[in-house]
Amino acid sequence: MNRLFRATGAALTAGALTAGALTAGAVTVGSLAGGSLVVLAVSGAVAPSMASAQSDADRERARSEFDRGVTLFAAENFQGALEAFQEAFRLRPHPTVRVNMANCYDRLNKPIEAIFHFERYLSESGRGAPAAQRRDVDEALRRLRARVGQLTLRVLPDGATVVIDDGDSRRTPILEPIRLTAGTHRLETRLAGFRLDRRTVEVPGGGEVDVQVTLSRETGAVAATQPPPNGGVGVATRPPNGGVGVATRPPPPNVAPPVQTQPPPPQEPIAAEPQPPPVIDPGPEDDSGGLVITTPTIIVGAASGALVITAIIVGAMASGANSEFDDLAALSNDPMLSDAERSLIRRDAVDTADRATSLALVADVLGVAGLVGLGVTAVLFITSQGGSSDRATAARQPRLGVAPTFSRDGAGVSLHGSF
């Protein structure tokens, strides 16, 4: 888009220029610098309140700068035209002047700035902008956006400074994408204590590129100075070649121990350590007054007791099964039940009777085995209480002894053993 708005007469010398004020006159189109010049002939009648908003000097200067910008643009002095339009906009802000500034930026090959002012024109003018002008601006935006890409930059750690093309400087984190012209760009990322990161990035026109930068810490030798041992003070020595001196510790002085002038104090006699009493072997124990229980007796007795207890438990289970059989037998004769139910109960009763018979048989076997074991235990116990020769033999085996004790306070039984 290469259209310039040119306001003549009182349009720039009156109060704040509005879109409504531009519609009061006629619009003519002429040719300028290969583009199109929109000439707005605006009547000089404006509201008194608008005229009072600005001094006469500012109004006159704004009109003069605007006209100068149009003239410079026609002479293809786009930088001078831009400065003139910027000054007119500063004195009398109006969305229409943004279109002229955007055209200057476009001719100066600065599409990002041109896009900014075109977009601001559309947002600030709103519905007051002519439809044809809005179409021209939209077309210019499509053309310029094809020359601009977006750079999304993520830098770790935060707080780094990113310099783009030796000019634009930003501090991370950068939350919004950066608009850049299509092409190659230089990036420098620096942060104190980290290595400088330099790279080039190719930004596509109308596209986006995502760059991740992770800075690495600088690695430098750190000289560690250690104090001399034993708390000595180092002596700085300077080498003859002017280098850095090395701290060395002087040798410790040779100091002789002081001569003793006083007689040594009398030494107290050292008490001899108490010696433990000698161990007296009591010899073989005399078991003539107690009962001897040998290891076979203990084993057989314990096994027999376990068999008897198991037999009692299984017998109780057999008794319970027998009681359950009696209940099922009585229930199978209940006239209130159907034949199928009574038949099912009879089958359960038969199974219960078989289970009761098996448990009773197992209980009998265990009980007989337990009784036999108890008998063997009794025989072993009696035979272990033989004469002195038998006692001597039994004394060499692990055994338990039970002996009665008597005193003035009563009587009791003592249990002792050897292994």
pLDDT of 128 above 90: no
Residue 356, judged by CB atoms within 10 A of its CB (0-12, 13-18, 19+), counts as: buried
d(CA 313, CA 318): 9
Residue 77 has pLDDT above 90, yes or no: yes
Q: Which residues contact 231 (CB under 8 A, 6 or more apart)?
A: none
pLDDT band at residue 410 using 50, 70 and 90 as cut-offs: low
Q: What is the mean pLDDT of residues 189-209?
A: 95
| 46 within 8 A of 126, measured Cβ to Cβ | no
Indicate the angle between helix axes 131-145 and 95-107, nearest 10 degrees. Answer: 30
Closest CA to 3 of 149, 129, 179, 180: 129
Which pLDDT score is estimated for 277? Answer: 55
Q: What pLDDT, on a 0 to 100 scale, did the predictor assign at position 17?
A: 37
Could you tell me if 60 and 13 are in contact, meaning their C-beta atoms sit under 8 angstroms apart? yes
Catalogue the E-assigned strands of 10-137. Answer: 26-32, 35-42
Q: Say what the pLDDT of residue 184 is.
A: 95
The tokens of 256 are what? Answer: 């002789």
- Cα angle 88, 94, 100; round to 5: 65
- pLDDT, tens digit, 9 for 90 and up, residues 116-127: 999 999 999 988
- Report the alpha-carbon distance of residue 200 to residue 154 in Å, rounded: 15
* H or E segment to which residue 88 belongs: helix 78-91
Query: How does residue 3 score in pLDDT terms, banded at 50, 70 and 90?
Result: low
The domain ranges of the chain are 3-145, 148-214, 294-382
pLDDT at 213 over 70: yes
Q: Which comes out higher in pLDDT, residue 320 or 390?
A: 320
Residue in this structure with the two tokens 């219960």, named with its chain if needed: 352
* Residue 37 confidence class, pLDDT cut points 50, 70, 90: very low
What pLDDT does 335 receive? 78
pLDDT in tens, 325-334: 888 888 888 8
Each residue of 102-136: b (16+ CB within 10 Å) or e? bbbbbbeebbebbbbbbeebbeebeeebeeebeeb
pLDDT the model gives residue 339: 82
Q: What fold does the segment set 3-145 form as a domain?
A: 1.25.40
When pLDDT is cut at 50, 70 and 90, the band that residue 418 belongs to is low
% of the chain at pLDDT higher than 90: 44
Burial class of residue 101 in the structure, from the number of CB atoms within 10 Å of its CB (0-12 exposed, 13-18 middle, 19+ buried): buried
Residue 252 pLDDT > 90, yes or no?
Answer: no
| Mean pLDDT within 161-178 | 93
> How far is Cα 348 from Cα 354, in angstroms, rounded to an integer?
10
CB 69 within 8 A of CB 84: yes
In the predicted model, is pLDDT for residue 286 greater than 90?
no
- Alpha-carbon Rg of the chain, whole angstroms? 59
What is the mean pLDDT of the segment spanning 277-296?
Answer: 59
Q: Average pLDDT over the chain, rounded to whole?
A: 75
User: Which segment of 87-96, 249-258, 376-385 scores lowest on mean pLDDT?
Assistant: 249-258
Span 137-153, average pLDDT: 95
Alpha carbon 167 to chain centroid, angstroms? 38
Phi and psi for 392 in degrees, rounded to 5?
-65, -40
Take residue 87 and report the two structure tokens written for it. 């000054």
148-214, what's its fold?
Immunoglobulin-like (2.60.40)
Confidence of residue 300 (pLDDT cuts 50, 70, 90): confident
Tokens at 338, concatenated: 């159907």
What's the pLDDT at 412? Answer: 67
Residue 66's nearest CA partner among 78, 81, 55, 53 is: 81
The structure tokens listed for 173 are 């984190």
Choice between 270 and 333, residue whose per-residue pLDDT is larger:
333
* Average pLDDT score over residue span 298-324: 91
- Mean pLDDT confidence for 81-89: 97
- Predicted model pTM: 0.44
User: Which residues, other chains included, contact 319 with Cβ-Cβ below 8 Å and sequence gap of 6+?
Assistant: none
User: Does pLDDT of 343 surpass 90?
Assistant: no
